[in-house]
Amino acid sequence: MSSDILMQLDGVSKAYHLGGETIHALKGIDLGVRRGELAAVTGPSGSGKSTLLNICGLLDQCDGGAVTYAGQPLRAGDEARKTALRRQTIGFVFQSFNLVPVMSAHDNVDFPLHLLGVPLAERRRRVGEALERVGLGGFGGHRPDQLSGGQRQRVAIARAIVKQPALVIADEPTANLDAITAAQIVALMKTLAHEQDTTFLIATHDDRLIGHCDRALVLDDGVLAGGAYAR
């Protein structure tokens, strides 16, 4: 596997059993995700986008095929290792922000570092840097209800990047934002991807976002139909 590939999927399949019906969410996906790229995963509802992101985010395991992350194969039964990799090297950004409403922006961003046992002084330094990085250096004391939708999404991105992850998984990160704010969020993610060598893998229906990504991957009924580089 090339050293610039962060995650490799080979023949990955996934099925769900609902009642007496079997839903084949992914059907033999082959995909290499590069370090430092901003890649969008597009396709209609039910095409398998969320399933693909869950597997790439090490939240779920495939039924068939192979997944390699940072050069290391991940096998069934590696749950402890996958949990450790997810906590330490993967960040998540959600459509609904998923911020803790009673906690300040600073404390929301600090939370992942607290779970990892990072010393307090180091946490304060890294939280401050992350908030500055997303343009919210003066908003650390604000609760989510004191912030706009775009600011809350910036806090969510700061929380995702504060542990300096190799990969950020983002699920419809611009769906609840107006056009101007959405463009700012996309530009921010692209800058972080290219300057910090952080890979962003984004599930989206938002055409405003897709055109700014390095690559748009199209899922159709569980099959990867194609993807083109914009750079």
pTM of the full structure: 0.91
* Low pLDDT (below 70) residues in the chain: 1-2, 226-231
For the stretch 25-55, pLDDT in tens is 999 999 999 999 999 999 888 888 999 999 9
Point out which residues pair with 74 in neighbouring strands. 67
Structure tokens at 131: 């908030």
DSSP-assigned letters across all residues of 31-61: EEEETT-EEEEE--TTSSHHHHHHHHTTSS-
Which domains does the chain possess?
36-61+80-229 (3.40.50.300)
For the stretch 123-153, pLDDT in tens is 999 999 999 989 999 999 999 999 999 999 9
Alpha-carbon distances of 3 from 6, 35, 71, rounded to whole Å: 8, 9, 8
